[in-house]
Amino acid sequence: MSLDKVLAKIDADLDQSVNRLLDLLRIPSISTDPAYKSDCARAADWLVEDLKTLGFDASSRPTPGHPMVVAHGGTGERHLLFYGHYDVQPVDPLDLWDRDPFDPEVQDTAKGRVIRGRGSADDKGQLMTFIEACRAWKAVHGSLPGKLTIFLEGEEESGSPSLIPFMQDNAAELKADIALICDTGMFEDTTPAIVTMLRGLLGEEITVYGPDKDLHSGMYGGAAINPIRVLTKILGNLHDETGRVTVPHFYDGVQELPDAIRAQWQALAFDHAKFLGDVGLSVPAGEQDRTPLEMLWSRPTAEINGIWGGYTGQGFKTVLPAEAHAKISFRLVAGQDPDVLRGHFRAWVQEQLPADCRVEFHGHGNGPAGVMSVEAPAFDAARAALGEEWGKPAAFVGCGGSIPIAGYFKTYLDMDAMLIGFGRDDDQIHSPNEKYDLECFQKGIRSWARVLAKLV
C-alpha cells in the first residue's frame, strides 16, 4: 500500500528531516525585535527555497512587517491550506538557557531524544512536520498530496499585525476548502487532539461614582453612599451559589455539548485533582452541574480580574472614596454575541445602582468564540488518521484560551480550520530551553501523511 511506502520513507529519511529543521532553527527569526528583521526575511527565503524543491510555486511576499510565505502546488478535488509561523519568541533571559538558543542540537534526555532550540516546538518544528510529510509523499508518488496552499507568517509572536490585511487583499488566492493549522499540542503525552472549540473573550472596565469628592468616613460615614460598597455588592451578585452567571440572557444561545463530544471528553484521562492541585487548589469552582473539562472548554465564564478604589497605600486612611473601579472579563462560547452581551451586562449593572451613584463603562477587546463544524467529514477522517498513528483515539478538544488565527480563517476566508499539533506540555515554548520531542517530530510527520492520505 502506498501509504506504507510513504511512512517507511519518512522513517528512513528522518535524519535528513532533522538536519533541515536544525538549519531552519539556526536562523534567529525573532519577530518582535527590529534587530532581527533581516533574519526573519532569511527564514522566509529558506522556506521558499525548500518548498520550491518540492515543486511548489513558492514566494516570499512583502508586508509592512515581516514577509508571508505563500506556496501553491499539486492538484486534486479538495483544496487544503496549511498554516504555520516561522517567527519565534525572544530568548531572554539568555543565562537560563543551557546552550545557545540558535545553535540547536538533538539531545538524549531521561524522557527520550529531544530537538533543543528556540522555535523547535513553536512553531518551526511543527510546521516542518507538514512539509516533511509532503516531501516523503512526493518521493513515493512523484506528486504532492493533493491541491495544497502553504501559508506561513512571520509575525505570529508579535500580534500578527499584517495578517488580516494580507488575508483580505489575497482572499481569492488563499481561500481553500479547509485550513490545517499546526501550532497546538497533544491532549497529553500520547493522546492526539484536534482543537475544535476556542472560547471568545469580552472585556469590560467599570467605574462607579458617588460623592463628588473623597470624604472623611468619620464625618460622612453612614449618611453618604460608598461607591466601593456599591461596586462590590454588584460584583458579588455576578454568580449565584451554584456558580452560574446571573446576568440576564447570559446563557441565551449557548448550546449543550453534543453527546458524541461529551462521550469523548469523558473518555479522556483528565486528572482535575492534579490540574487544580498544581496551583494549590482542590475543588472545581465553576458551575456545579458541569465537569471540569466543560467548565474549561465549553462553558462561558465571568471573572473579576481587578478591583480598586479608596486608599490602598501603606498605613491607614479613613477615606470614603468618590469612585470605585473593576475590570471584568467574560470567556464566551458559540452562540454568544460579544456586543449583545456587553449591552446585557451594562444594563444589569445600571439596574442595580442606588440613588446618587452613576457608572461609566469602558469596553475592552472582544472576539467571538470559534467552533468548528466537526460534522464535516474531514474531521472524522483526520481523527481516524491520528488514532491509527498514535494507537489511541484522537479527541476533539476545546481550548480555554483564544487562538485568533482559526477565527480569522472563518471570518475573512469563510473556511473551517482543523488545529492539529504535536507539542507536549513540557516543551517550554516561549521559555528558556525550548524543545520538541524527536518522537513528536517523527510521528507528527507520519500523522500528516496519514491525514493527507484520507483527505486527498
Residues 310-339 that bind Zn ion (CB under 5 A): none
Give the C-alpha distances (Å, rounded to integers) separating 353 from 143, 291, 336.
Answer: 68, 35, 26
What's the CA gap between 138 and 134, in Å, rounded? 6
Asked if residues 144 and 72 have their Cβ atoms less than 8 Å apart, the reply is no
Judged by CB under 5 A, which stretch of 117-125, 128-136, 165-173, 301-309 contacts Zn ion? 117-125
Judged by CB under 5 A, which stretch of 55-63, 114-122, 299-307, 353-361 contacts Zn ion? 114-122
Nearer to Zn ion, 160 or 447 (CB): 160
Nearer to Zn ion, 39 or 122 (CB): 122
Q: Output the smallest distance, CB 429 to Zn ion, in A.
A: 7
Nearer to Zn ion, 89 or 329 (CB): 89
427 binds Zn ion (CB under 5 A): no
Q: Output the smallest distance, CB 85 to Zn ion, in A.
A: 6
# residues contacting Zn ion (CB under 5 A): 3
Residue 111 CB neighbour total at 10 angstroms: 12
204 binds Zn ion (CB under 5 A): no
Q: Output the smallest distance, CB 86 to Zn ion, in A.
A: 10
What's the CA gap between 247 and 206, in Å, rounded? 15
- Quote the cell numbers at residue 234: 454588584
Q: Output the smallest distance, CB 157 to Zn ion, in A.
A: 7
The residues, any chain, with a CB within 8 Å of residue 158's CB and separated by 6 or more, are 31, 32, 65, 87
Q: Output the smallest distance, CB 169 to Zn ion, in A.
A: 23
Nearer to Zn ion, 85 or 138 (CB): 85
The residues, any chain, with a CB within 8 Å of residue 316's CB and separated by 6 or more, are none
122 binds Zn ion (CB under 5 A): yes
End-to-end CA distance of the chain: 16
Pairing assessment for the beta strands 215-216 and 319-320 based on DSSP bridges: antiparallel
Nearer to Zn ion, 138 or 435 (CB): 435
Phi/psi for 24 (5° steps) reads -65, -35
Give the DSSP H or E segment for 134: helix 124-141
Nearer to Zn ion, 180 or 349 (CB): 180
Q: Looking at 39, 50, 123, 416, which residue binds Zn ion (CB under 5 A)?
A: 123
Q: Output the smallest distance, CB 434 to Zn ion, in A.
A: 11
Judged by CB under 5 A, which stretch of 123-131, 191-199, 217-225, 373-381 contacts Zn ion? 123-131
Residues 139-198 that bind Zn ion (CB under 5 A): 183
In terms of Cα–Cα distance, which of 320, 350, 351, 144 is closest to 225? 320
Judged by CB under 5 A, which stretch of 52-60, 121-129, 245-253, 408-416 contacts Zn ion? 121-129
What's the CA gap between 316 and 63, in Å, rounded? 55
Asked if residues 434 and 122 have their Cβ atoms less than 8 Å apart, the reply is yes
Q: Output the smallest distance, CB 3 to Zn ion, in A.
A: 29
Nearer to Zn ion, 187 or 345 (CB): 187
Residues 398-417 that bind Zn ion (CB under 5 A): none
Cα–Cα–Cα angle for 187, 180, 425, rounded to 5 degrees: 25
Cα–Cα–Cα angle for 228, 231, 236, rounded to 5 degrees: 120
432 upstream amide cis, omega within 30 of 0: no
Residues 246-265 that bind Zn ion (CB under 5 A): none
Nearer to Zn ion, 83 or 102 (CB): 83
Q: Output the smallest distance, CB 375 to Zn ion, in A.
A: 28
Q: Output the smallest distance, CB 405 to Zn ion, in A.
A: 9
Asked if residues 278 and 369 have their Cβ atoms less than 8 Å apart, the reply is no
What's the CA gap between 174 and 82, in Å, rounded? 10
Nearer to Zn ion, 55 or 432 (CB): 432
> Helix H segments across 254-337?
259-267, 272-277, 292-297
Nearer to Zn ion, 50 or 123 (CB): 123
Q: Output the smallest distance, CB 188 to Zn ion, in A.
A: 19
Q: Output the smallest distance, CB 137 to Zn ion, in A.
A: 24
- CA torsion 394-400-404-410 (nearest 10°) is 60
Nearer to Zn ion, 86 or 137 (CB): 86
Which residues contact Zn ion (rule: CB under 5 A)? 122-123, 183
